[in-house]
Structure 1
């Protein structure tokens, strides 16, 4: 565990020497300043766990006014940094004023060593808890907005999946970066979470980020956080994804969708393990394990100068391909039964059984949408099949199946000219079929439709296809 860092502010060199000696014995790193200006300058450049400051900086001043102004100024720089004030002219009024200004505790000179150390340890601990609670609150908001399925459990009866899980179990013991490739809907996000859960970082956060859904203008704010007032809409401090994932795992999904201009910023963080919150010049350490995923051909994107080669090598310590569902025939039936049971509990509906005919049909279907498509099908079947046993006919698994209209009609190539279809029905059908054509590759699909990344993802979200 790294030493905790304290900034001491006092104009008395003897006091500074005494505090340095005592606190160094307690494994604190100490930096001391003798003027308010020097204190503020260092706070803008470096991170500290606590500030211990005198209330007076001139020999003939005992009012505490200087100290109060400095407490307020520190709050402007970092309102989460704990402050303990000290003075040899202790009065209740000064103590109350200091606490109102933002100080967390008040120590009178000459101090009691044990009391001072306890106060410092307590305030540092409280600050860490507060920061963790804030991080968890923002992380919960983030996770609640995620659109990918959150079903737990990985089914692996097929040889190809058993081999993949065996590799992931070994890699989980390390801290190396992992790049997962494969078609959309194959469960890359779940496998990334699986690695995290089986790693030494399991007690800390797993933070997934859909890189394709982050507007380029908000990239730094989303990834590194921002301070209140850093830009027009920054009405409060925001913790970025790197800080959320501190000592945990950051999962970068849709990796190929990171704009070139932002790839350099991400590369710098990965190389130096440091980043700056937007609006701050202080560097923060990034102790984060990176797992990333893509369904794109990154070597091709590098050749076309759409992806940085140095970033690719930084993320590609080891690369594993996640097989498509049609390559894991042995897993299709147990996965379908798993989803039926899962949605049965969710909706409090009795789950029907799959017939042999239905299982055979599921195993013969090509599954262009992979596991996500199977999950959605089982959820729909739970409501459309009113029998105890699901037959092959109940599945409606025609390869030419397109989409369901808002009125419940089936839309495919044969019915697309139906005059009762709305523009939204036709657009949804077109999105589904174009996605199938490009095997779930979001970048290629968006490009073929002449849509920007953000416009494409908005449409996916609108129709529940994301």
Structure 2
């Protein structure tokens, strides 16, 4: 214990023991309170919060059986169910100490103690308490978020038949543990579907862990997903759980699942089949309990027919398939989305914006939205920021000059990969090689465009 950390309560009927504890712990902990009278425990705990409670097992009223210590342990845990209690006990009471741990104590300290061992035990107990509080806080925030979200598909809006089909599928599938594969173009809201599935599932109070597989290099894949142990490689300076372990009990969302190479597909399949992970550098596997949701904008079945994707992995990840329609195919959702985003950004930037006119809605509806809802959201936010009037006109919405249509594009085939390459080349030329502008025109992030440039060798 090199740095002061933790608040300690020590209760023992022997004043000399308390003096020795205070002398030893004071240089290492933030705050320590001592008492020779266990009946004062409730009052002390009502006035203060403690990370660790050191409790004598045998008080003068019951010097041998340790029953009084057990009674106070029970009382402490009633007051604070997450309390970390360390029993102070003599050598002859080891059997009772083990029983105490079963009753809810965290550990025990033997009298007479070894200073270094006692400090190490208290330090570990403080860290345990902090971990419990972090988990408790995260779960509380998750519940609070779920309460605030007053609709089943918060921020996920649509009245079109295509979106109603998506909502109905989510309702049917959410409460199950079925693996789900979400298909759709970039910007259609695949992660929103994944979060809606999690939020409406039995795992809603457990973690939702999202991983962008497209942003992971081959060398980082295993470490990030499966974790590693200290010394497994040069930069592994401590044990670290992977995303699978972090999602234990909850939902793991793997975005850009189509970007995995065949060797990585095999490793992922093994974990999904065995329901266990082995950290890099370790030998012992760890069981995992997750609900798996994956997403991609690629045609996995076509990739499998070309031997670029494992058919057995596709079967494993898509018990149920959800396909998100692009925004250009659901124009009836444009007015609803416009109202939704206008409300959000008007409040955010403290501006009063009236409802959009029919002319503005017509302009927005006629635009093909290559970047889908993500592009639409960014356009509305930018327009609100730049607005100088409560009434937004057609000219206020600066839409990209690049239209996704076949006009000006000649294709030798209907192969989507070739079409994508052709369009990217065309847009890059139009923007004179400026990747940022090309990404904006295509409705992509710079990272996503760079991945596609690498994929097509551009």
Normalised by the size of structure 2, how large is the TM-score?
0.62
Which residue of structure 2 lines up, in the alignment, with residue 122 of structure 1? 105
Q: Which runs of 5+ in 2 are unaligned?
A: 1-85, 108-123, 140-152, 405-426
2: CA distance, partners of 1:255 / 1:290? 12
Give matches, 1:9-408, under 5 Å. Answer: 108-111=90-93, 115-120=97-102, 121-123=104-106, 152-397=154-399, 399-400=401-402
Per-residue deviation, residues 247-288 of structure 1 (Å, max 9, x unmatched): 100000001111221111111110010111122211111100
2:411 is the counterpart of 1:429: no
Which of 340-349 and 198-207 deviates more? 340-349
Q: After TM superposition, give the deviation of residue 241 of structure 1 in Å.
A: 0.5
Which residue of structure 2 lines up, in the alignment, with residue 29 of structure 1? none
Q: Which runs of 5+ in 1 are unaligned?
A: 1-103, 140-150, 403-411, 418-422, 451-466
2: CA distance, partners of 1:239 / 1:137? 20
* Matched-pair contact (CA < 8 Å) for 1:434–1:445: no
2: CA distance, partners of 1:136 / 1:370? 37
Per-residue deviation, residues 181-202 of structure 1 (Å, max 9, x unmatched): 0111000101100000000000
**Does the residue aligned with 1:186 lie in a helix, a strand or coil?**
coil
Q: After TM superposition, give the deviation of residue 109 of structure 1 in Å.
A: 4.6
Q: After TM superposition, give the deviation of residue 394 of structure 1 in Å.
A: 1.6
* Matched-pair contact (CA < 8 Å) for 2:174–2:201: yes
Q: 1:323 to 1:415 in 2, by over 3 A?
A: closer
1: CA distance, partners of 2:160 / 2:370? 19
1: CA distance, partners of 2:201 / 2:246? 17
Which of 279-288 and 123-132 deviates more? 123-132
Q: After TM superposition, give the deviation of residue 156 of structure 1 in Å.
A: 2.5
**Does the residue aligned with 2:292 lie in a helix, a strand or coil?**
strand
Q: After TM superposition, give the deviation of residue 318 of structure 1 in Å.
A: 1.2
* Matched-pair contact (CA < 8 Å) for 2:428–2:435: no
CA RMSD between the two structures? 3.3
Normalised by the size of structure 1, how large is the TM-score?
0.61
* Matched-pair contact (CA < 8 Å) for 1:136–1:244: no
**1:448 aligned to which of 450, 453, 456:** 456
Q: 1:449 to 1:347 in 2, by over 3 A?
A: farther
Q: 1:183 to 1:353 in 2, by over 3 A?
A: same
**Does the residue aligned with 1:122 lie in a helix, a strand or coil?**
coil
Q: After TM superposition, give the deviation of residue 160 of structure 1 in Å.
A: 1.7
* Matched-pair contact (CA < 8 Å) for 1:295–1:441: no
Q: Number of residues paired by the alignment?
A: 318
1: CA distance, partners of 2:283 / 2:138? 23
**Does the residue aligned with 1:390 lie in a helix, a strand or coil?**
coil
* Matched-pair contact (CA < 8 Å) for 1:209–1:252: yes
2: CA distance, partners of 1:321 / 1:179? 8
* Matched-pair contact (CA < 8 Å) for 1:172–1:196: yes
1: CA distance, partners of 2:252 / 2:156? 20
**Does the residue aligned with 2:301 lie in a helix, a strand or coil?**
helix
Per-residue deviation, residues 160-189 of structure 1 (Å, max 9, x unmatched): 211211111110111010001011100010
Which of 426-435 and 372-381 deviates more? 426-435
Q: 1:106 to 1:310 in 2, by over 3 A?
A: farther
2: CA distance, partners of 1:319 / 1:246? 23
* Matched-pair contact (CA < 8 Å) for 1:205–1:245: yes
Which of 281-290 and 324-333 deviates more? 324-333
* Matched-pair contact (CA < 8 Å) for 1:211–1:252: yes
* Matched-pair contact (CA < 8 Å) for 1:400–1:413: no
* Matched-pair contact (CA < 8 Å) for 1:296–1:441: no
* Matched-pair contact (CA < 8 Å) for 1:177–1:291: yes
Q: After TM superposition, give the deviation of residue 106 of structure 1 in Å.
A: 6.6
Q: After TM superposition, give the deviation of residue 115 of structure 1 in Å.
A: 4.6
